[in-house]
Amino acid sequence: MNGEVDVRPLNLASLASIRSFAAGIDGPVGVLINNAGTMTDKLQHTADGFELQFGINHLGHFALTNLLLNRITERVVTVSSTAHRSAQIDFDDLQWERRKYQPFGAYGQSKLANLLFTFELQRRLIAAGSPVIASSAHPGWASTGFRITSGNRLLDALAAVSTPVLAHGPEGGSLPTLLAAVGDVPGGSFIGPSRFGGVRGPAALTEPAAGAKAPAVASRLWEVSERLTNTHFPLISGPVMTDQATGDTSA
């Protein structure tokens, strides 16, 4: 990175670390990119007892955003995945305490949560009269060293062999996030590669699964996430009216 770069420790698997990091940011934040992610093939937990993938990929970013939001001036970008399309939010067992653990199912749930969080955040920003934009992006199939651990050995081995050949590199994978961060895109947008079903290619606006924009689910997930992280939307909001048919919002 050109210019002055300041590197600070932040462990998204620890609410204490997140609070410490946020407390150390004393100036304005132009753009927050929630890019951290993890994938695990067995049930693990964060320092606060959350299922690891849901805890890092969603709850950690949720807490960090709320703790920094009154200092953010331009955008919040949260990185999701096409894995959200086959996922659902199980409010009765978010932490996989009763179900048999499914690694890819847990990953998909966390990535669906990223999108629901983005759209609910955008609705709340509109209601608060904030100029900040919330958007989401996905990198497509990117060869970055991130290891796919679905729990299926054959699938994981196939992914390991084919990724270097078929996926685009880190530069290509970063383009959707870059467009979401600095491009001319609307609030609540979802951006990803535009070719081969979202696998690779130039970054462009894309449409998420319908369930990722469900207002009632997004609102419920927000309330649950507030309770779990003990963090809250810091801006004063007016009522948000949602057209249940289209998902359009107005303050």
> How many distinct structural domains can be found in the chain?
1
pLDDT tens column, 173-198: 788 999 999 999 999 999 988 765 66
Residue 243 in any domain: the answer is no
63: domain CATH number? 3.40.50.720
Residue 45 in any domain: the answer is yes
Residue 8 in any domain: the answer is no
Residue 146 in any domain: the answer is yes
Q: Which two tokens stand for residue 146?
A: 């991130």
- Do 176 and 123 form a contact (C-beta atoms < 8 A)? no
Residue 17 in any domain: the answer is no
Neighbours of 251 (CB within 10 A): 14
Listed in order, strand segments (DSSP E) in the chain are 29-34, 72-79, 133-137, 190-195, 200-206, 241-242, 249-250
pTM for this model (two decimals): 0.85
Q: Residue 196: CB partners within 8 Å, gap ≥ 6?
A: none
Burial letters 146-158, b for 16+ CB under 10 A, else e: eebbbbeeeebee
Residue 240 in any domain: the answer is no
Q: Is 166 helix (H, G, I), strand (E, B) or coil?
A: helix
What does the pLDDT profile of the chain (251 residues) look like in tens digits? Answer: 788 889 999 999 999 999 999 999 999 999 999 998 888 889 999 999 999 999 999 999 999 999 999 999 999 999 998 888 889 999 999 999 999 999 989 999 999 999 999 999 999 999 999 999 999 998 865 656 666 666 666 666 666 656 655 655 667 678 899 999 999 999 999 998 876 566 667 888 999 999 999 999 999 999 999 999 999 999 986 554 444 444 454 44
Residue 21 in any domain: the answer is no
What positions carry a catalytic annotation?
107
Q: Which two tokens stand for residue 111?
A: 């990535």
Residue 3 in any domain: the answer is no
> Could you tell me the sign of the dihedral formed by the alpha carbons of 107, 217, 75, 188, in that order?
positive
Q: Residue 69: CB partners within 8 Å, gap ≥ 6?
A: 76, 132, 233, 234, 235
Burial letters 219-231, b for 16+ CB under 10 A, else e: bebbebbeebbeb
C-alpha atoms less than 13 angstroms from C-alpha of 203 in its C-beta half-sphere: 24
Distance CA(120)–CA(188), nearest Å, equals: 9
Q: 229 lies in which domain range?
A: 29-97+104-233
